[in-house]
């Protein structure tokens, strides 16, 4: 077998394997367009229907949970950025002897197992009336994402050529001007990727949401998990709800592909 044939073969194998990996997702999307009674049957050809989508999105509480997810995810991402960016700025441009160990501590808080704090969090939330509230979930997800923001944004800031900033400081720019006109424009792509990752993590989170909310502030992850006992014939409709649930994150992840690695490793791998 010559080199060219081998290359073509490898390419075909790669594509085939990636289709196999993607297949469960594809199958779910397909099922969402099947009629309810053929929901789980392994047939590839059928007359598509939108009835499941209609039923799943409009004939249920889906939209309420979607609203909760959007609100909690959006606000927690925003607050995480507002808290994280100034900290990243300080630690990137005004490092002290303790900055390195502070950064490691920040990372360790991200890796703290949620089960280590779920019990006290539940008790504290109960005493402060934060159980099953949007505010409570926003606080938890902000805490979950701030370390990520600090690590990622700082690593992007460290790439800003320091001479530019030094020159500007010689000219006596204020902090606001320096950040707004110099630093932020240079790190916009990184900032966007950071926001997308916060969004992905908060959107997909289940453990905190499941234990700290009951219904009013429950996000989609809790809603979907409530179908764990349903069998067979609900599948078509559940597929529609699940597809709608994962679609925003799939798109966000596809868009942020390049920065995904940086985000997943807290900037350790770029």
Please list every residue from 128 through 157 that binds another protein, using CB under 8 A.
139-140, 142-143, 146-147, 150, 155
> Phi and psi for 132 in degrees, rounded to 5?
55, 35
Under 8 Å between Cβ of 72 and 141: yes
Least distance from C-beta 246 to another protein, angstroms? 5
Options 51, 57, 117, 160; binder of another protein; rule CB under 8 A? 117
Tokens standing for 149?
């923001």
Least distance from C-beta 19 to another protein, angstroms? 7
Q: Which is nearer to another protein, 38 or 49 (CB)?
A: 38
Per-residue contact track with another protein, 196 to 225, x per CB under 8 A? ----x--xx-xx--xx--------xx--xx
Q: Which is nearer to another protein, 63 or 250 (CB)?
A: 250
CA–CA distance, 194 with 254 (Å, rounded to integer): 14
Q: Which is nearer to another protein, 71 or 158 (CB)?
A: 158
Q: With binding defined as CB under 8 A, does residue 22 bind another protein? A: yes
- 267 sits in the region (left: phi over 0; alpha: psi -120 to 50; else beta) called left
Please list every residue from 88 through 107 that binds another protein, using CB under 8 A.
Answer: 89-91, 93-94, 96, 102, 104, 106-107
Q: With binding defined as CB under 8 A, does residue 268 bind another protein? A: yes
Tokens standing for 122?
């539940």
CA–CA distance, 206 with 140 (Å, rounded to integer): 12
Q: Which is nearer to another protein, 58 or 115 (CB)?
A: 115
H/E segment holding residue 105:
helix 99-110
Please list every residue from 155 through 184 that binds another protein, using CB under 8 A.
Answer: 155, 175
Least distance from C-beta 54 to another protein, angstroms? 20
Q: Which is nearer to another protein, 77 or 221 (CB)?
A: 221
Sole window of 46-54, 55-63, 185-193, 228-236 interacting with another protein (rule: CB under 8 A): 228-236
Least distance from C-beta 51 to another protein, angstroms? 19
Least distance from C-beta 245 to another protein, angstroms? 6
| Per-residue CA distances from 253 to 29, 36, 82, 260 (Å) | 18, 30, 22, 7
Q: Which is nearer to another protein, 150 or 217 (CB)?
A: 150
Per-residue contact track with another protein, 40 to 79, x per CB under 8 A? xxx-------------------------------------
Q: With binding defined as CB under 8 A, does residue 253 bind another protein? A: yes
CA–CA distance, 68 with 155 (Å, rounded to integer): 32
Pairs from 87-95 (Cβ < 8 Å, separation ≥ 24):
87/146, 87/150, 88/149, 88/150, 88/152, 88/153, 88/154, 88/157, 89/153, 89/157, 89/179, 89/183, 91/150, 91/154, 92/153, 92/154, 92/157, 92/158, 93/157, 93/165
* Chain Cα centroid distance, residue 99: 27
């Amino acid at each position: 077998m010559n080199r060219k044939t081998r290359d073509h073969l490898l390419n075909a194998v790669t594509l085939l394997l990636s289709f196999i990996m993607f297949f469960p997702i594809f199958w779910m999307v397909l099922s969402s367009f099947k009629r309810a009674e053929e929901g789980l049957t392994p047939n590839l050809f059928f007359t598509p229907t939108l009835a499941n989508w209609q039923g799943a999105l409009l004939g249920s509480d889906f939209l309420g949970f979607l609203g909760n997810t959007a609100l909690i995810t959006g606000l927690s991402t925003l607050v995480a950025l507002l808290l994280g960016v100034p900290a990243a700025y300080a630690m990137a441009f005004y490092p002290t002897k303790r900055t390195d160990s502070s950064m490691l501590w920040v990372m360790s808080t991200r890796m703290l197992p949620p089960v280590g704090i779920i019990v006290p969090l539940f008790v504290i939330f109960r005493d402060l009336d934060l159980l099953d509230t949007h505010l409570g979930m926003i606080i938890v997800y902000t805490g979950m994402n701030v370390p990520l923001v600090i690590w990622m944004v700082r690593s992007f800031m460290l790439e800003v050529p320091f001479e530019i900033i030094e020159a500007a400081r010689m000219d006596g720019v204020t902090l606001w001007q320096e950040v707004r006109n110099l630093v932020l424009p240079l790190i916009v792509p990184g900032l966007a990727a950071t926001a997308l990752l916060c969004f992905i993590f908060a959107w997909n989170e289940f453990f905190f949401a499941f234990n700290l909310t009951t219904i009013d502030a429950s996000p989609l992850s809790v809603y979907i998990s409530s179908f764990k006992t349903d069998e067979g014939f609900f599948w078509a409709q559940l597929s529609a709800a699940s597809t709608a649930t994962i679609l925003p994150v799939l798109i966000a992840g596809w868009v942020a592909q390049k920065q995904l690695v940086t985000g997943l490793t807290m900037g350790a791998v770029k």
